[in-house]
Structure 1
């Protein structure tokens, strides 16, 4: 398993905001945010600014309309129509595992299932010392 920083490397932060990646070349969250259609670019910029804020201050002070839990141990960032699903890791790490454009009132069950599986896989791979940090940020 791989993780990749979602914040600029020059940002001297207390928290780490990372994306879980399928491989060294596939990172759904980063790829999604980097290839947004024009009508969602503004929301993409806002979510990246939110990542920088979280890196400096942590996610706990964010209001529920921007950050809230959607399942046990699974959280969601929200900016405009963009949603990024994430979970905590020890050592002040926010691990983002899925990003999408939300078109319905409730978070799709498939997204929650994917996030739950990503959390389970992350913990398993971490216990096996099998998580590699990729260059990014």
Structure 2
């Protein structure tokens, strides 16, 4: 069993958490939002239960220590921290065959910010 943390910027804001909350609220009246919310929640649970020992349809290594969860057309980028903890960074909607370089670079910047602030604690 692994731990899951949501990346928060220096203002304490988690873009991914806010996205999931908005899907949860919309899910009451919107079928697409309900499906997305259930898929993303399931994939996060699978990561928590199994780590990266999952089929490539569920999670995939991208670059350095950046990985992605692959629920439907959504992608959730994350990395392994320590003490069996995965940090979920941000989400984007897949529109191309390959993960855009800018999304990977953004994930690395968020990871670096997270690590720098953890060291300062």
TM-score (norm 2): 0.85
Q: How many residues align?
A: 114
Find runs of 4+ consecutive structure 1 residues off by over 4 angstroms: none
Q: Find the residue that maps to 2:7 and give its secondary structure.
A: strand
**1:28 pairs with 2:15:** yes
Q: Find the residue that maps to 1:107 and give its secondary structure.
A: coil
Question: More relative contact order in 1 or in 2 (CA 8 Å, sep 6+)?
Answer: 1
Name whichever structure is richer in strand by fraction.
1
Equivalent residues in 2 for 1:12-51, closer than 5 Å: 14-22=1-9, 23-24=11-12, 26-36=13-23, 38=30, 39-51=32-44
Q: Find the residue that maps to 2:107 and give its secondary structure.
A: helix
TM-score (norm 1): 0.76
For structure 1, list consecutive stretches of 5 or more residues without a partner in the other structure.
Answer: 1-13, 130-137
Q: Which whole-Å deviations, capped at 9, do the CAs of 1:67-113 have from their partners, x for residues lacking one?
A: 01111110000011111000001001110111111111111121111
Q: Which whole-Å deviations, capped at 9, do the CAs of 1:37-59 have from their partners, x for residues lacking one?
A: 6324312211112212222x232
Instruction: Check the 8 A contact 2:77/2:89 in 1, yes or no.
Output: yes
Computed over aligned residues only, the root mean square deviation of the Cα atoms, in angstroms, reads 1.5
Question: What residue number does 2:95 align with?
Answer: 103
Name whichever structure is richer in helix by fraction.
2
